[in-house]
Amino acid sequence: MNRTIYTILTASIVAVLAGCNKQLDLKPSISIANSDALSSTDDVKAAMKGAYYDFASSDFYGGRAFMGPDLLGDYNELNWSGTYQGFTDIYNKKITVDNNFVTSTWLAGYKAINDVNNVLAALPVVKSSSIKSDLEGQAKFIRGAALFQLVRLYAKAWNDGDPATNDGVPVILTPTLGISDSLKVKRSTVAQVYAQVISDLKDAEAELAPTNGFYAGSLAASAMLARVYLQKGDYDNAALEADKVIGSGKFQLMKTFAEAFPSIDPPAPIANTAEDILAMQVTNTSGTNGFNEFYALSNRGDIQMTNNHFALYEEGDDRANFFNESDGSYYTQKFDNLYGNVHTIRLAEMYLIRAEANFRQGTSVGASPADDINAIRTRALLGPIDEADLTLDEILLQRKLELSFEGFTLDDVKRLKGSVGPNYPWNDGRLIYPIPLRETRINPSLTQNQAYK
Amino acid sequence: MRKSLLAILWMCLTLPLFSQTRTISGKIIDAKDSTAIPGATITIKGSRRSVASDANGSFSLQADEKARELVISSVGYINKEVNVLHTSSVLVVLSASEQSLSEVVVVGYGTRLRKDITGSVAKVNAGDIANTPATSFESAIQGRASGVLVSQQSGKLGQGINIRIRGASSVTAGSDPLYVVDGMPVTSGDQSSTTAATNPLADINMNDIESVEILKDASAAAIYGSRASNGVVLITTKKGKTGSSKIDLGYFTGYQKPTRKRHFLNAQQYVDYFEQAALGAARQDVLAGYYDNIDDAIADEKDYVESRFTRYAAGKDTWKTGAVNTDWQDHAFQNAPLSQYDLNVSGGNEKTKFFLSGQYLDQKGIILKNSYKRYGARLNLEHKVRSWLTAGLNLSFARSLNYRVSDDDQFSTPLQIIALSPITPYIDPRTGLTSGALDTTTGRPNTNYPVYYNPVLSAENQYYHTLVNRTIGNAFLSAAITKELSFRTEFGMDQLNQTEDIYGGKLTARNSGVPDGYGAYYTTQIININTNNYFNFNKTFATDHNIDAVLGMSYQSYHRDYSQAKAEEFPSDLYVKLASGASKTEAYTSSNANALVSYFLRANYKFQSKYLLGISGRIDGYSAFGKDNRYGFFPAASAGWILSEEKFLKNVSWLNFLKVKASIGLTGNNRIDDYAALGLYSATAYGGQAGQHPTQLPNPALKWETTLGTDYGVEASILHNRVSIEVDYYERHTKDLLLNVDVPGTSGFSTQLQNVGKLRNKGIEFTLNTTNVVTRDFKWTSSLNFGANKNKVTNLGGQVVGSGVNRAMEGQPLGVFVAREFAGADPANGDALYYKNTPKADGTIDHSTTNDYNAATDVVIGNPNPDYIYGFGNTFTYKGFDLDVLLQGVQGNQIFMQGGQYMSASGSNGFDNQTTDQLAAWKKPGDITMVPEARLFYPNGIGNSSRYIETGSYLRVKAVTLAYNLPKSLIGKIGFERIRIYAKAQNLFTITKYKGWDPEVNADYLAGNINQGLDFYSAPQLKSIVFGVNIGL
């Protein structure tokens, strides 16, 4: 080989290697490029399941988005002994704008919303119209439910002043595909958020089959609508929606209160109960029961019940027995199963909504208020109450006892214009979460809630 | 040409004096190996007459009858004067000056002479590295190069070592330098499946290293473009030399000990302390309203504490008498011998040169069950195929087996043993087994005895074997196309195959939560391929102009496959492979890859050997960057002026060399996740069904971090080259930081990797080399290096990054400690006090104290970055003996004792044994002390605060070598070329005020760019003493 040949050879090697540029387009393996992610019906279906995963995050519907307002709305029925400063502050009504749980719940909520907005934007690739409407219904269910919980946590209550002018939370209806200034959104009004929530849930109700395995069916949408209407004080619609669920006959109250919260030892996944209209799925490999983490004696056991809570029960109330005792402290057994599903909407709540709405309106949509309350009382091993003796207070007490620790305390205080102890009237600004500091810092369009300015 | 010119010159000079002269002739040789020194200048003192030595080192000149002395000088050697009054024939032996200006320095894609370098390059030679009793070569360069901060996280073998060259230049991207072995950028990043890093550079046999060059300034490093911001470390391995073949045998053996230990309470102190803590707790019980009467509270607390004493004393009352007094710390350490065996064969002729080496290292760690074994071999081969064509290969393989211990935050890591009570016996007398092994009532390991899980159970019943097979090979062809132009092509491969084999037996259940054994198996397979192809042009025009240029391209591709498998429930501890686990709990595989395409150019111009100019540029295309910014351009320029070559300085006799230099350049940092710029979806599962969701937003604009570096330096050599000094001032301004930037959460995302933010490093470095004494038999040289760097984060877009005590925040050095300012114990009641440091209405700061942790605000309480680092080496040679002593120090940094909240914690965390300084705790009103009252289970001053800040400054006797070279006359007779026996010590002695184990520390499970200077039950460094012999045949 002479030098000339060598030179030519090497020069050609250089030339070939100079064409390495294509080698720079490398594709990931355990994740995939977003451009490849939503190109078939199965892809979109998978994205829908992914959205449930985020919706059911322990920071959101998986627990903490409901445990937080129970701590914030508590007055001496619960004792918080945990070491997480963020929850200590919530429990003490001294939330700072950088509270990590307030921040995490915000992020988790909008993550779920972005997930379903991606699903909705990808629906054109779905050819089957039945699958398409199912996916659209589920996506809108999640978006409606997510916005509803966010607006309740981060904005003034519906009945606090004028919802048409009060700041709600941002309503996001399109998927995020990149970062730009257009993401610096404003807060919609409370009324606009509720309108979007109802519109989404109505669409879901129309498009979904009544039940859908452990995913949301139209009855789950109806149940969520009942909850929304009750929060708005729209009792006629609340009763109508609750009645759709009860009247469908698809769900039954479990025989005992304990059976509504099944648990086995050692912990293992258990399927939805007949009472579950919607439950966030938890298994030993996916999902986290956020309530279990803080309430269960077998877990952190950071939240105990005080005598003030036990004083609310009538003699013989079976629900008062559903507690673990350890060293003089009491822990609810509702969340004992580490791998137990989170019972998001139980049929019992529908009876309570229908009873309250009918009672307030003097109607008997589906059943009389007394019948509905007695369904709850009987299951709790309490004697039935006569129609004539039934009071709103009794309905609300049954609601409180039946649904205790499931995330209803604060919103019921607001809805009913009560108070959290003597110091916090229902419309006190400190009973609303702040907009997280990270959000107001990055996005100056977001106004802060009054109590945190 | 040159010779005849000189001859004419010489004739012109000498002719007029011919009649009165005599001839003096002689030879000039190197003191080290007696080889001839050509080109040395021989001048008659007091005259201008001089000649140069020829290729054989010989010279001859005509001198005046009365000429008394000759002055002999040569670049890189110390000048010498010889008396010639009574002789006409001399043999002159020159000693090399400490930092030789004629030394060849490896730079990217080529070499330069030290005196021609315009950038900043530190060099550490084989002699300083060889036979260092340490696992990896970085330990050997610690303290030997100015501005290079080497810190090993802990004394665990084969684990993380951080090198920061002129300060850290990134907040979230990688901050380690690029490592290049014989032209091949190698895999150097952490490959551990735990959060504690391993060190793939430990696979390199440090005795194969000929030199380590550290490219410090931007102009030197910019030839490595987008990977050069953190500096570049070039490792060159040994080559064979022409001449008779050599065989070298090496062996050393010795032992290692922890550099320092801490003091913990003994049995009696422990009992007294917790009785005191019970009293403190009783006072709080009353304050909290649990008791009306202090005596009742005291009685209950005392009962409780004493019942626990009995429990922790294995159910006995030996705690009352001090009969059991276990020093648990001693049980965390083990005897730690180490031995190393080396065999090298090298040689060569005109056509072929080779270097062949083999090594076996057998090292026990000081930490219980920690050990490291490595064997490997190397072949460096070079063959002249044609007069103009050379082919060669550098090939090494190594197999290392690291018996690792748990991360610092695990109950099973040996040093967490110090939490156990001194009243607990090592062997449980009830069972005759290790304490904690068996609870006779359940037949299972104890769950509440000793106070915590006993790490000895893990040492005895658990293993974590990390096995690495490593092959690094680089083949090359080099062709001289013309006399001036050559071309080199290299193809290299770095293959790293690692398995991590883990088993934890039944007795580890209290730690693992798994009753019947668990196993895990992780594999990592990395293939890293690189090719360099470049032309080199070197030509001198018209005598005065020299151009040395490099033009080429390179391509590197990296591919990593990883897998995990786990199982639980084994029939017995004799079954340790996953095959035997009844429940398979994990199966996981993944892979990632990146690729880099580069084109580079460098040209150095030299005029009259006085004026130096260098420019370079590199274009890098990197796969992980965004589509819009995939290619970056990294230019650099530098200039030097050798003033001592100028007429006006040439005759300044004390000044031998003086150069000023300046450089500027752009470098980048590409150390980010391989797919950081892409929009990504990842898999999830909901209710056991497969789903997917978006996890990362695309950032098509994502690019490298850019550092603009400038360097101004002076190099001088004075007093017959006996003193040389190099001073550099530099600034490094980094912008477009690769930062996880907060984005509006309403987008469905929380952060995105963006180019936001700035930081800078400024500093000064100097190196001073002196030859203090040179006589026939004795020589003493010194080398001092010093580097002071100031780091400051100037812009993070308003974010504060960091979740623990360390923060990255604007206006502060990277990683500053931020927490409450501790004010000691309240003399009135023993409460921990903090300075409020809250702003008052008038804008001033409230410096009053409070016992409410939440009423005080966080302030900067310390800085983990040293003010300056230094090394001071002295070498003495006397006849066959040589002694080398290196001092190394770090000054002005702080350490946060993260473990203080447990081991110096007022009993707040329970029954953890405490450091002896806690004996100074507040006891009664009026006590003035910095240690708050002991209160069992009542937190008293354990929140993060300056209570746990300590000075991290230290000065170490880093390395000492005492060696004796047996006289040739003796060993020559028995056929040996060379026999050297030596004793070596590493980390022999440490001076520090640090209260923890060792101030060179960073908790392995936390260590990162921001998390620095943390100590959490971290193993102290190793003090090693070895005795060895090198035999040359």
Band (B5; pLDDT cuts 50, 70, 90): very low
Q: What residues have CB less than 8 Å from B937, skipping those under 6 apart?
A: B281, B907, B908, B909, B910
The domain tally of chain A equals: 1
Which residues between 37 and 66 in chain A have a beta carbon less than 8 angstroms from any beta carbon of chain B? 37, 43, 46-54, 56
The answer to whether residue A24 is domain-embedded is no
Q: What residues have CB less than 8 Å from B784, skipping those under 6 apart?
A: B766, B767, B768, B769, B870, B871, B872, B873
**DSSP assignment of B932-969:** PPP-TTS--S-SSBGGGEEE--EEEEEEEEEEEEPPHH
How close is the nearest chain B Cα to the Cα of A52, in Å?
7
- Range with lowest mean pLDDT among A183-192, B955-964, B1002-1011: B1002-1011
Q: What is the pLDDT of residue B17?
A: 44
Q: How far apart are CA B461 and CA B505, in angstroms?
A: 5
Band (B6; pLDDT cuts 50, 70, 90): very low
Contact A106 B745 (CB under 8 A): yes
Band (B2; pLDDT cuts 50, 70, 90): very low
Q: What is the pLDDT of residue B804?
A: 85
Which residues between 103 and 162 in chain A have a beta carbon less than 8 angstroms from any beta carbon of chain B? 103, 106-107, 110-111, 113-115, 117-118
Q: What is the pLDDT of residue A11?
A: 65
Question: Which residue has 């933010």 as its token pair?
Answer: B757
Task: Please list every residue in chain A whose beta carbon sits closer than 8 Å to the beta carbon of residue B702.
Answer: none
Average pLDDT over residues B855-869: 94
Task: Please list every residue in chain A whose beta carbon sits closer than 8 Å to the beta carbon of residue B479.
Answer: 3, 6-7, 10
- Range with lowest mean pLDDT among A379-383, B13-17, B235-239, B970-974: B13-17
Q: What is the pLDDT of residue A43?
A: 95
Q: How far apart are CA B200 and CA B41, in angstroms?
A: 48
Contact B697 A177 (CB under 8 A): yes
Average pLDDT over residues B77-102: 76
Q: What is the pLDDT of residue A12?
A: 65
Which tens digit of pLDDT belongs to each residue from B232-272?
999 999 999 888 889 999 999 999 999 999 999 999 999 99
How close is the nearest chain A Cα to the Cα of B110, in Å?
19
Identify the closest residue of chain B to A24 by CA–CA distance: B623
Task: Please list every residue in chain A whose beta carbon sits closer than 8 Å to the beta carbon of residue B599.
Answer: 18
Contact A439 B745 (CB under 8 A): yes
CATH number at residue A270: 1.25.40.390
For A49, the closest of B595, B690, B694 (CB atoms) is B690
Which of B609, B601, B603 has its CA nearest to residue B113? B609
Q: What is the pLDDT of residue B15?
A: 44
**Regions of chain A short of the pLDDT cut 50:** none
Band (B19; pLDDT cuts 50, 70, 90): very low
> Is residue B758 within 8 Å of A121, Cβ to Cβ?
no
Contact A179 B699 (CB under 8 A): yes
Contact B752 A3 (CB under 8 A): no
Identify the closest residue of chain A to B557 by CA–CA distance: A23
Task: Please list every residue in chain B whose beta carbon sits closer than 8 Å to the beta carbon of residue A438.
Answer: 742, 745, 750
Q: Which domains does chain B have, with CATH numbers?
A: 2-94 (2.60.40.1120)
Which of B889, B913, B976 has its CA nearest to residue B144? B889
Per-residue pLDDT at B403 exceeds 80 = yes
Contact B595 A24 (CB under 8 A): yes
How close is the nearest chain B Cα to the Cα of A101, in Å?
14
Query: Which pairing describes strands B758-774 and A303-305: parallel, antiparallel, or unpaired?
Result: unpaired
Which residues between 65 and 94 in chain A have a beta carbon less than 8 angstroms from any beta carbon of chain B? none
Average pLDDT over residues B70-80: 77
Mutate to test the interface with B, among A13, A26, A172 (most CBs of B within 10 A): A26
Structure tokens at A275: 């009472």
The H-assigned helical ranges of B484-629 are 509-512
Handedness of CA B773, B776, B778, B782 (dihedral sign): positive
The domain containing residue A211 runs over which residues?
36-303+316-333+345-446
Q: How far apart are CA A433 and CA A97, in angstroms?
A: 8
Per-residue pLDDT at B207 exceeds 50 = yes
Q: What is the pLDDT of residue B497?
A: 97
Per-residue pLDDT at B91 exceeds 90 = no
Mutate to test the interface with A, among B534, B742, B747 (most CBs of A within 10 A): B747
Mutate to test the interface with A, among B533, B681, B697, B858 (most CBs of A within 10 A): B681
Per-residue pLDDT at B73 exceeds 50 = yes
Contact B692 A43 (CB under 8 A): yes
Band (B149; pLDDT cuts 50, 70, 90): very high
Question: Which residue has 């029960």 as its token pair?
Answer: A313
Q: How far apart are CA B96 and CA B78, in angstroms?
A: 6
Contact B595 A23 (CB under 8 A): yes
Query: Which pairing describes strands B859-862 and B816-819: parallel, antiparallel, or unpaired?
Result: antiparallel
Which residues between 171 and 190 in chain A have a beta carbon less than 8 angstroms from any beta carbon of chain B? 172, 175-179, 183-185
Which tens digit of pLDDT belongs to each residue from B161-195?
899 999 999 998 888 999 999 999 999 999 999 98
Band (B425; pLDDT cuts 50, 70, 90): very high
Contact A438 B678 (CB under 8 A): no
Contact A176 B749 (CB under 8 A): yes
For A32, the closest of B674, B680, B690 (CB atoms) is B680
Mutate to test the interface with A, among B482, B590, B686 (most CBs of A within 10 A): B686
Choice between B90 and A258, residue whose per-residue pLDDT is larger: A258
Q: What is the pLDDT of residue B797?
A: 87
Contact B697 A51 (CB under 8 A): no
Q: What is the pLDDT of residue B997?
A: 95
Task: Please list every residue in chain B whose beta carbon sits closer than 8 Å to the beta carbon of residue A118.
Answer: 694
**DSSP assignment of B108-166:** TTEEEEGGG--S-EEEEEHHHHTT-SSSSTHHHHTTTSTTEEEEES-SSTTB-EEEEES
Task: Please list every residue in chain B whose beta carbon sits closer than 8 Å to the beta carbon of residue A52.
Answer: 686-687, 691
Structure tokens at A315: 């003699």
The answer to whether residue A1 is domain-embedded is no
**DSSP assignment of B595-616:** EEEEEEEEEEEEETTTEEEEEE
Contact A183 B752 (CB under 8 A): no
Average pLDDT, chain B: 91
Identify the closest residue of chain A to B561 by CA–CA distance: A29
Q: What is the pLDDT of residue B18?
A: 46
How close is the nearest chain A Cα to the Cα of B619, in Å?
12
Which tens digit of pLDDT belongs to each residue from B309-329?
999 999 999 999 989 999 999
Task: Please list every residue in chain B whose beta carbon sits closer than 8 Å to the beta carbon of residue A17.
Answer: 531, 533, 553, 555
> Is residue A331 within 8 Å of A323, Cβ to Cβ?
yes
Per-residue pLDDT at B97 exceeds 70 = no
Contact A115 B553 (CB under 8 A): no
Contact A172 B746 (CB under 8 A): yes
ipTM score here? 0.92
* Sequence letter at residue A124: P
Identify the closest residue of chain A to B752 by CA–CA distance: A179
Which residues between 267 and 296 in chain A have a beta carbon less than 8 angstroms from any beta carbon of chain B? 269, 281, 283, 285-287
